[in-house]
Amino acid sequence: MPPLKPGQKYPTPTPGFGDRVFYESLLKQRQTSEMAQDWCLNYGILSYKKAAKLHAIVTERKRKQRMGVTGTSASKKSRSSSPPPPKKKRVKKEDGVASPVRSAHL
């Protein structure tokens, strides 16, 4: 087995492996996809240079997540501080019985 690349935890799958095809194409289309970055690093898909560069980025991102500093948490907090939507009013039924349905007059 060849030496592992930075961030690699598992053996590199063959090029025709379904997961590899999916994550490689996802990473090409969306370079910021955290899911694709993690998978490609874990399985050693990238070249040594790209893996070293991406490993630093992923490590920093995970460190920030452990510290509780994420880009999405700030936006969630601002949404939760807005007032809740008004509650729907309940319609009271007279004498506990629903009113009869009226037929159309012809």
Q: What is the mean pLDDT of each run of 10 residues along the chain (106 residues)?
A: 89 94 96 96 95 95 86 54 77 64 62
The pTM for the full model equals 0.62
Q: Is residue 60 part of a domain?
A: yes
Q: Is residue 86 part of a domain?
A: no
Q: Is residue 83 part of a domain?
A: no
CA distance 82 to 76: 11
User: In the numeric block, which tokens belong to residue 95?
Assistant: 């004498």
- Angle between helix axes 34-42 and 48-67 (nearest 10 degrees) is 120
Q: Is residue 1 part of a domain?
A: no
Determine the structural domain holding residue 41 and report its residue range: 16-70
Task: Give the pLDDT confidence score for residue 70 in this predicted structure.
Answer: 58
Q: Is residue 6 part of a domain?
A: no
**Number of structural domains found in the chain:** 1
Residues in contact with 64: Cβ distance below 8 Å, sequence separation at least 6, in sequence order: 70
Task: Give the pLDDT confidence score for residue 103 in this predicted structure.
Answer: 60
Centroid of chain to Cα 28: 18
